[in-house]
Amino acid sequence: MQTAIAAIIVFGIIVFIHELGHFLVAKRVGILAREFAIGLGPKLFSFRKGETTYSIRALPIGGYVRMAGEDPETYEIKNGIKVGLQLDIEGKVAKIDLKPHSKYDVIGKIEEFDIEKDMFIRIEMDNNIVGYKISESALIVKEHDVMQIAPLNRKFNGKTVAQRAATIFAGPLMNFILAGLLYAIIIGITGVPSNSNVVGEVIAGNPAAEAGMITGDKIIAVEGIKIDNWQQLVNEISDKPNQTIGIDIERGQELLTLNVEAFEQAGTGKIGITQSTNPAGLMSIPYGFKQTYDLSILLLTSLGQMITGQIEADVAGPVGIIQIIGIQANEGLLNLVNLAAFLSLNLGIINLLPMPALDGGRLVFLGFEALRGKPIDPNKEGIIHFVGFALLMLLILVVTYRDVARIFS
């Protein structure tokens, strides 16, 4: 139960921040955002505020902002059908009802209309043609279904390449910002690693602890070589895996020599201690974003090595990630925050990969449009994104199967 709650909270925050980026920039450049959804699948809860419906959906593994004009839209309005018009105080059409009744100001058959550019409608009533201007926020109603009209200047595809690119890029950008802020919180609590030769923590069950070393010991020499800082200490111990090392320490007024059996890890010597830390204060913010940058470079390098076969691909799907979240939740809140920062960073990087259906793939299409001076055929682009999405879902299924098999094995 704790794992499920922790997973929902972590996924929910990361997805919410990602979609919030798309949403805020869309609103800023004037795109009509029809729905802001957290989760996928059937709708569990929703409410409408302004021109946007906010919803929670059943599967807490994603989300989306549905923007007018991003995909083909149909209004079911056409010439020759009978409609009812409700006018606002300026005499403009505020509502077009496709199943009209007697309460409407105007009822008649549509002679001609334009709800994208010129925003007008002409109605035949009693053998007369009457024209009206349409409000840019007018609603089209069919029984219980309501859709707000989106003129071309409110549609995603009606905006400039730069405005659309900013709207798409804002999602991954918010994930990088979230990661940076979460790392800043962690650093603000734990402090900044010091280059001092004072021991920060002695890890239980490791050689240093077994030899009697304690937190606060100052290491002044390794095998007779004077130690002035942490990096020098690391260098001396790293060169001595599987060796017994004489370490001179200063503990208060005492000078002690401990014999510590170093173990090997990734080809280097370790004794099981961590460095001390200094309070970070306001510097935790730049340190947090520096850690985000450093980890981004590391993740991109690892991804390149996996693609080229230099290292084994080790990818976790939703089930594997939920298992990891559960483990970290049991280890403490700080570990869970650290994992949330790492997952947010991963989501930002993965979404910027130049693959169809991902934000990076859509940015590639916008790049082609900028170079060509005209958009790619929307139908062709839609097919490519659909195929990309299908392949992505297939990959998630395969990885999920591996995760489940790994858990039960």
- C-alpha–C-alpha distance, residues 240 and 6, integer Å: 41
Q: CB of 64 within 8 A of CB of 168?
A: no
3-state secondary structure of 56: strand
Two tokens, residue 281: 């204060």
End-to-end CA distance of the chain: 22
Two tokens, residue 40: 């996928």
Query: CA 214 → CA 53, 153, 168, 218, 237, distances in Å?
Result: 58, 67, 51, 10, 17
Which residues fall within 8 angstroms of residue 241, CB to CB, at 6 or more apart?
A: 262, 263, 264, 265, 267, 268, 269, 270
Nearest to 84 by CA among 45, 4, 7, 141: 141
Q: CB of 378 within 8 A of CB of 372?
A: no
- Based on C-alpha coordinates, what's the Rg of the chain? 30
Q: Which of 19, 236, 331, 381 is catalytic?
A: 19
Q: CB of 213 within 8 A of CB of 249?
A: yes
- C-alpha–C-alpha distance, residues 82 and 98, integer Å: 7
Nearest to 347 by CA among 35, 16, 115: 16
Nearest to 151 by CA among 135, 141, 136, 172: 136
Give me the sign of the Cα torsion angle 234, 240, 242, 246: negative
Pairing of strands 106-114, 120-125: antiparallel
Angle at 295 between CA 407 and CA 238, to 5 degrees: 85
Annotated active-site residue 73? The verdict is no
Positions annotated as catalytic residues are 19
